[in-house]
Amino acid sequence: MRKEEKRIEILKAALKVISGMGFEGAKMEDIAREAGVGKGTIYEYFESKNALLLEMIQYCTKCFQEGLEKTLAEEEDMLGKIRNLSMYGAEFLNAHAVLMNSQIVHQALPKDMETQMKRDWNLIYQTIEDEVRKGIHIQEIRSDIDPEMAVAIIVGGVNQYTFKKLMEDNFTPREIDHTGIAKTILAGLIP
């Protein structure tokens, strides 16, 4: 129990430090300091730096996934769900920039992390794909739509817009037009 709590403490510290300095920029010492423990202590809880990062990614995607399911459940229709996805994603991205755009990270990390991250992200995609399929079923979404494509457009579109607004235009998550992006994704671009 006590042990499990400190584990989480270290994972959170790792997330924070990595969000600020990137994967390789994060030194074990920084993480230890942030977690308020000694450098050696981390090794009581995690095999190695890589193991820590790996668990951190899992922890983080699990958190995201759980919050995502809750936020999606709060809304009935597709528009509301995408808007909530955008809002939730923006806050998460704002807090932990590094992880949201996980694609690139693959390359820089050992193979085992890559695999893990693929698995974790597939879960998130799957969650959204389920919503898309439900939408198709109740005819909120066209039946000729490839659900995989729909997920890509929703996730990619929302992410890209959010990222741009947060990082380039220095918006706060609240200032982003989540409804607008959701509507545009749904309605498409043509007349």
Residues lying near a second copy in the complex (CB under 8 A): 18-25, 78, 97-98, 100-109, 118, 122, 125, 132, 135, 139-142, 145-146, 148-161, 163-164, 167-168, 177, 180-181, 184-191
Question: Is residue 48 part of the contact set for DNA (CB under 7 A)?
Answer: yes
41 versus 184: smaller Cβ distance to DNA:
41
Q: What is the DSSP string of 93-128?
A: HHH-HHHHSTTTHHHHS-HHHHHHHHHHHHHHHHHH
CA dihedral over 181, 184, 185, 187, signed as positive or negative: positive
Question: Is residue 27 part of the contact set for DNA (CB under 7 A)?
Answer: yes
Question: Is residue 43 part of the contact set for DNA (CB under 7 A)?
Answer: yes
Residue 72 to residues 32, 50, 75, 128, 145: CA-CA distances in angstroms?
Answer: 35, 32, 6, 9, 21
Provide the minimum distance between the beta carbon of 69 and a second copy in the complex, in angstroms, as a whole number.
Answer: 20
Binding partner of 39, given DNA, a second copy, none, CB within 5-8 angstroms per partner class: DNA
Question: Is residue 38 part of the contact set for DNA (CB under 7 A)?
Answer: yes
- Of the candidate residues 3, 138, 187, 190, the single one contacting DNA (CB under 7 A): 3
Question: Measured at the alpha carbon of residue 175, what is the angle toward residues 149 and 19, in degrees to the nearest 5?
Answer: 70
| Sole window of 25-33, 74-82, 132-140, 156-164 interacting with DNA (rule: CB under 7 A) | 25-33
Helix H or strand E encompassing 32 = helix 28-35
